[in-house]
Amino acid sequence: MNNEILLAKDWLLNSGIQNTAGEVLGGFNSWFDLDTGRYPYVYSEITGYGITTLLFLDDLFEGDFIARAKLAADWLEKNALHECGGVRTRDYREKMTESDVYSFQSDNLYAFDNGMVLYGLINLYKKCKDKKYLDFSKKIAGLMLKEMRKEDGLFYAVYNPSTGKKEDSPRKWSSQSGSYHAKLAMGFVDLFEVTKEEKYKDAALTLCRSSISFQMEDGRFMTSRADESTHLHPHSYSAEGLLYTGMHLGHEDLVSSAEKGVKWALDNQCDDGGIPKKHGPSGCIPFYRSDSLAQILRLGVILKSIGKLEAKYDSRLERLKAKILSFQYKENGPQKGGFYYGFTLDGQRKEHINSWCGMFALQALIMFEDIYIKGNDIKRLECLI
């Protein structure tokens, strides 16, 4: 593995992005703020990603990855699990403007967060066969199917068990039902493969088919009903869920939808290798965030491996990989090897060494080296962070 990959792997294990002591033992932090020197909150969704990342790395490196993944699962069970069966969102360590909406105390349960935790847990069960992780997975899935699923297979963005309120609001892409929820299908697919219970397979396929209805003729997924715009980040979530489900369950139409979405993103690549973070009827916002870039690189490499991406896209993947590396933090210290988040919609650079950006970038770089450079095939897509 090249040096950039090793730096990113060491950052994940040694930077403090995963808590290794105290009351937050095992949980993954949101990001390290270079200006304040603090981690603002422990994040359930990202702890789910963290479990998946550690399992992915366990097949590639020597280390205590499984033990660290179990610590993450234990934090979720002890701290984030609501009595109704879902997981809360953010355990804030300091007051922030949006904390009333996302905090543990709000009792708001986000479908996307629960789906990412479900996926991490079911993969942890597949790895170590401890039934408590299967039971935890089924508890989350049960809550999602009972309280958050709509008749058309999509999910409400938010459910509050204290008030019974369910939210589908166009105020923000993450507060509305949409195609990005296709990534929730990954957990249901794996739960089906483990249990053989058809209800999980049905949930995955119905969700994906409804998600395709948000795809525009040019390939982009409309991720915000308010202005019919496309944020590259949830657009990529849409393609990830469709590709994973299509590959696992043998549904070519889902793979084709993902292929169309990825090609749209690559076709909108800028000369410097980046892909704008938001597109709409009036044009694009020409700022980048590293998680979205890493998502498209992963998807492109996977599609190339299964013969769905033509050679004309090779140079675009290479430029995209170089652009992602420009976000890697190279200063000496514990955060060396992590990745900056990137820019907000108004062009503000975030001085954050971001947890999920680092995880996505690490997997993308490994896939690029293993699949694109070395030519290894993906026979079965597993542990997609």
Which DSSP string corresponds to 336-362?
TT-BEEEE-TTSPEEEEEEHHHHHHHH
Average confidence (pLDDT) over 277-294: 94
Which DSSP string corresponds to 51-69?
HHHHHHHHTTS-SSHHHHH
Q: Given a cut of 90, is residue 185 above it in pLDDT?
A: yes
Query: How far apart, in whole angstroms, are the C-alpha atoms of residue 199 and residue 169?
Result: 27
What percentage of the chain carries pLDDT values higher than 70?
Answer: 100
- The distance between the two most distant Cα atoms of the chain, rounded to a whole number of Å, is 53
Taking residue 192's Cβ as centre, other Cβ atoms within 10 Å add up to 23
Which DSSP string corresponds to 101-116?
HHBGGG--EEHHHHHH
Q: Given a cut of 80, is residue 97 above it in pLDDT?
A: no
Please give the pLDDT value at position 380: 82
Determine the residue type at 144: M
Q: Confidence band (pLDDT; 50, 70, 90) for 159?
A: very high
What percentage of the chain carries pLDDT values higher than 90?
Answer: 95
* Exposure class string for 59-86: b at 16+ Cβ within 10 A, else e: eeeeeebeebbbbbbebbbebbbbebbb
pLDDT digits (tens, 9 = 90+) for 110-137: 999 999 999 999 999 999 999 999 999 9
pLDDT digits (tens, 9 = 90+) for 66-91: 999 999 999 999 999 999 999 999 99
Burial of 37 (0-12, 13-18, 19+ CB in 10 A): exposed
Residues of the chain with CATH 1.50.10.20: 44-168
Taking residue 347's Cβ as centre, other Cβ atoms within 10 Å add up to 9
**What is the average pLDDT value for the chain, to the nearest integer?**
97
Q: Confidence band (pLDDT; 50, 70, 90) for 281?
A: confident
**44-168: CATH class:** mainly alpha
Query: How far apart, in whole angstroms, are the C-alpha atoms of residue 327 and residue 317?
Result: 16
Average confidence (pLDDT) over 38-44: 97
What pTM was estimated for this model as a whole? 0.97
Please give the pLDDT value at position 246: 98
CB 183 within 8 A of CB 175: no
Q: Given a cut of 90, is residue 154 above it in pLDDT?
A: yes
Give the pairing type, strands 158-159 and 109-110.
antiparallel
